[in-house]
Chains A and B, each alone.
Chain A
């Protein structure tokens, strides 16, 4: 099992970014997938999750209306479209596999996002 995130860059406040997470080694469409972030010097913060069939997508209040999670099961890929970015969105963004109700058994190494002018 492996997951690798990409797409993190330095972006100006108000800008947009799309993160990707490519998975391998397991039946991707069988699993709910999450994005979790960690701001510098801070703790883990849940961002969003999407069910295996994409029928359910849910967000933390801090990103609701600005971020959109999606997935392409044919490409074994998870995405996070981030709009109207703010300085407080600066963080390492990690994707993780949910085996069973917040049982996150595998994680990617993360991709860093910096929102700064």
Chain B
């Protein structure tokens, strides 16, 4: 049950787009369409941004989108804003188990 692989950090200027990858195996990311993404500001509860690979909960801005190809899922933030600076974690169902990604720090330059 190793953590899903995510880049340690990504950065971009306001208005730019950034993408965070989340790589697993065919036993987790590749085996199910149950990948979610969480935004985590220190000291606050994680907030779900994407679920079921591509679905966006109500209230989450449209600039957040999710996708998946094979064993790799991705979260894209289009039109980066200052308040998007946070840690982001992917999460996958893995058959009676759950695996989180190692986390990616998004920095808005």
Residues of A participating in the B interface, judged by any CB pair closer than 8 Å: 34, 36, 43-46, 49, 56, 58, 60-62, 94, 96, 100-109
* B100 pairs with A105, CB closer than 8 A: no
Say how far B99's CB is from chain A's closest CB, in angstroms. Answer: 7
Contacts of A96 in B (CB 8 A): 46
Q: How far is the CA of A21 from the CA of B52 in the complex (A)?
A: 26
A-B contact count (CB 8 A): 65
Interface residues on B, range: 20 to 34
Q: A43-B101, A60-B1 are in contact. Are A103 and B38 (CB under 8 A)?
A: no
Residue on B with the closest CB to A45? B100
Q: A61-B1, A107-B45 are in contact. Are A101 and B93 (CB under 8 A)?
A: yes
9 pairs of A and B residues whose beta carbons are closest in the complex: A43-B103, A107-B45, A103-B51, A46-B98, A101-B34, A44-B100, A58-B96, A102-B93, A61-B1
Q: How far is the CA of A34 from the CA of B98 in the complex (A)?
A: 10
* B48 pairs with A104, CB closer than 8 A: yes
Residues of B participating in the A interface, judged by any CB pair closer than 8 Å: 1, 3, 32, 34-36, 38, 40, 45-46, 48, 51-52, 57, 87, 89, 91-93, 96-103
Give the dominant DSSP class at B's interface. Answer: strand
Q: How far is the CA of A107 from the CA of B38 in the complex (A)?
A: 12
Contacts of B1 in A (CB 8 A): 60-62
* B101 pairs with A107, CB closer than 8 A: no
Q: A101-B93, A102-B91, A104-B36 are in contact. Are A43 and B52 (CB under 8 A)?
A: no
* A44 pairs with B45, CB closer than 8 A: no
Q: How far is the CA of A100 from the CA of B91 in the complex (A)?
A: 13
Contacts of A45 in B (CB 8 A): 3, 100
* A44 pairs with B34, CB closer than 8 A: no
Q: Which of A56, A58, A61, A104 sits near B46, CB closer than 8 Å?
A: A104
Q: How far is the CA of A56 from the CA of B96 in the complex (A)?
A: 9
Contacts of B40 in A (CB 8 A): 44
Contacts of A36 in B (CB 8 A): 100
* B98 pairs with A49, CB closer than 8 A: yes
